A and B are shown apart, each in its own frame.
Chain A
Amino acid sequence: MSLYTLYKNARLLDPASGMDMIGEIMTCDDKIAELGQRIDAPEEAAVIDCMGKCLCPGLIDMRVFVGVPGADYKDTIINTGEAAAAGGVTTVCVQPVTDPIIDDMARVEYLENRARKARVNFIAFPAITKQLEGREMTEIGLMSHAGVRAFTDGNKAVANPALMTRVLKYAAMFDALIIQHLAVPELSDGGCMNAGALATRLGLPGIPTAAETIMLERDIRLLKSNPCRYHAAQITCQDSIDVIAAAKESGMAVTAGVAVSHFSLNEYAIEDYRTFTKLSPPLRAEDDRVAVVNALKNGTIDVIVSGHDPEDPESKRVPYELAEAGVIGLETMLPVALELYHNKLIPLLDILARMTCNPAGILGLDSGVLKKGAPADLCLFDPDVPYRIDPEKMVSLTKNTPFDGRPIQGRILRTIIGGKTIFEYAP
């Protein structure tokens, strides 16, 4: 097989450079060798006609939970990889919430070894604190030296302010990124949906937006005297957006993400206690959802994540309060995010930036761009194909999607990783 593959007649979309033109890309082995309106490809190059569809850098998803190790019945790493590929995601950032918990280099290597069988790039985010207990920090220095880029306690916050202060001081020495899950435990524990009139009507314990904003405000305060690279994993309300915007304004190295669910659904998706809508942080009120869309538009929110979290039926076919939080999302991330483009709220390149060059920049990856020499991780999609989301047609082993039946536009046609096509849409 030829070393070269020519993707011709493609609408090349590169958010980093702002490129949006019909052209060609040639890959050589696992790198992008050339791109432009017209390329003189070697004769032996394999040729793929993209039929004028969109070709963008493969998506980078900064928030994915996997069932390996510990809960293979929910999900295997191979399956996560297949689901990612089906969603145009070429790099998956794994949260340390596994059994055993990924909190040292041996476990990072174990996970990344397991992940080699899947053909998608897996990056493990080890824990900030040992066993996610929020008491002692992990070997942030050793892991950073071994190439780890970011640390997070996944779906737990580092709640103790004294420990967080030490973490920020320490991590800064290694230029490590600290990713915080924003929730004051005393305000969020036991809650299962957004606090408000709907929670009162349904009789469900609520989680106020203050649980998120207070933790963010506290961290910003600590960062002012202990500068460190900091990323708010998910922000879901106007108040938190204001805090991030002010921090950025003052020049702090702060970034923020949001999950697709939080800008495409509001708390009313819960309807009759649908456990597939249970998330952490919870789906918010409509005003906050709109605020998140605006924050994505003006750049206050840098990153869109899927928050992919496979939960088996046993964790979801229970009363709402007892259900596990989490939804799958790798396969629906791009199509659902494209609603923002179809509704003329955010330009296509800006949406793609939040899933490609922005996370790449935050994590220091050389992917996420269409550039000569960059990894040949690509996503070919047609933004206009209409269909309804059908969980039965999804690749994910578990089907806990909150978007069941949602009409959307946008289909991933082909996913290329390291120059190889690892997913191709078959009708």
Chain B
Amino acid sequence: MSQADRTALFPHQHLLGIEGLDQQAINYILDLADKYAEQNRKTNKKADILTGLTQINLFYENSTRTRMSFELAGKRLGADVINMSSSGSSIKKGETLLDTASTLNAMQPDLLVVRHGCSGAVKLLSRKVNCAVLNAGDGKHEHPTQALLDALTIRRRKGRIAGLTVAICGDVLHSRVARSNIHLLNIMGARVRVIGPSTLVPANISALGVEVFHNMKPGLEGCDIVMMLRLQTERMHGGYFPSISEYFTLYGLDYDKLSVAKTDAMVMHPGPMNRGVEIDAAVADDLIRSAIQEQVEMGVAVRMACLDLLTQKKRNPGGGASDGCGGASSSEGTSGRPHHQTKKPGMEI
């Protein structure tokens, strides 16, 4: 495939959210991520397509799994990866977001992975830098790579996304994961339901194209996928529900509630889980029903695909006929550069 073809499939400079992507772009990312998932199961997981490129992970909110996942993705692709977190940095000294952005920009990074506690902050930052920006979560707005890794997990287990019924359960109000997933699942043709107490599931969210339920069993009935959300107590000021025990009784996922979903319904959770709060430990650990470990695995693959796609233009500045990767020759064969071979990624639309 020529660079022009690739650009047509994924014309975006940044990955700031799922809203604004189309089926074609999402499938393209997932196809590429599929190949990285295979590569990640091999002994040699290393590729060199990002050799010489610099990736900065700028995290204004604490994160372990997302930051590590991005770090691992960058390193497996050969990039120089640097982590910067808000504690113990100039951010703590009161530097503004945009000043930090200019400072980092002056260091000529090629990829900026940013998480921030304010909705829209990553988009604001993306306007001030020259490199590709990946949104690793902005406030309550979007977390696109989480939705993509969820989609990849679903596609691998169920073979498709279109036509499935997906229930997103719990603290939708504070969840960027929920918003990105709602956008993605709608774009891909799934039916989306949201379930939770009316204090945590705003009624107007139906404007995003979802069915709203405030009771678990009617909402879960006939579902193919059950996505649990973490209760984000750190974002809650004042009571949104009376007690953990009431919440778990009404909205915690256990086998009883799950029994009304399809017999092969898959359970997902973006992590970290609060066992005994939003999910029963036995369900979480059920290797057949739960895809939680697989989600983490797909996370690295999806992020590798995103880092790859967002640097393609840079690595192939000519944008012309060559189908090779950005100059550096590979000594690792197909395992090292899976998608840069002439083989066209299978399109699934």
Contact = CB atoms under 8 A, between A and B. Distances in A.
Interface of A: 190, 196-197, 200-204, 272-273, 314, 317-322
Contacts of B142: 203
Contact of B237 (A190, A273, A322): A190
A202 B179 CA distance: 9
The secondary structure that dominates the B interface is mixed
Contacts of A320: 118-120
B176 A319 contact: no
A15 B176 CA distance: 52
Contact of B205 (A197, A202, A272, A273): A197
B207 interface: yes
B205 A200 contact: yes
Contacts of B202: 200
Contacts of A196: 204
A273 B123 contact: yes
Nearest to B205: A200
A396 B100 CA distance: 28
A272 B118 contact: no
B179 A201 contact: yes
Interface of B: 19, 96-98, 116, 118-121, 123-124, 138-142, 176, 179, 202, 204-205, 207-208, 237
A319 B205 contact: no
Nearest to B237: A190
B120 A273 contact: yes
A319 B119 contact: yes
A204 B140 contact: yes
Given A273-B119, A319-B119, 11 more contacts: A197-B205, A200-B208, A201-B207, A203-B176, A204-B119, A272-B123, A273-B120, A317-B96, A319-B118, A319-B121, A319-B139
23 contacts: A197-B205, A197-B207, A200-B202, A200-B207, A201-B19, A202-B141, A203-B120, A203-B138, A203-B139, A203-B142, A204-B119, A204-B140, A204-B141, A273-B124, A318-B96, A318-B98, A319-B97, A319-B116, A319-B121, A320-B120, A321-B118, A321-B120, A322-B118
Q: Which of B119, B202, B204, B237 has the most CB of A within 10 A?
A: B119
A188 to B, nearest CB: 14
A190 B139 CA distance: 14
A72 B207 CA distance: 44
A244 to B, nearest CB: 26
Nearest to B122: A319
Nearest to B125: A319
Contacts of A273: 119-120, 123-124
- Pick the 4 closest A-B CB pairs, nearest first: A273-B120, A203-B140, A319-B118, A203-B141
Q: Which of A200, A272, A321 has the most CB of B within 10 A?
A: A200
Nearest to B175: A203
Contacts of A314: 96
Contacts of A204: 119-120, 139-141
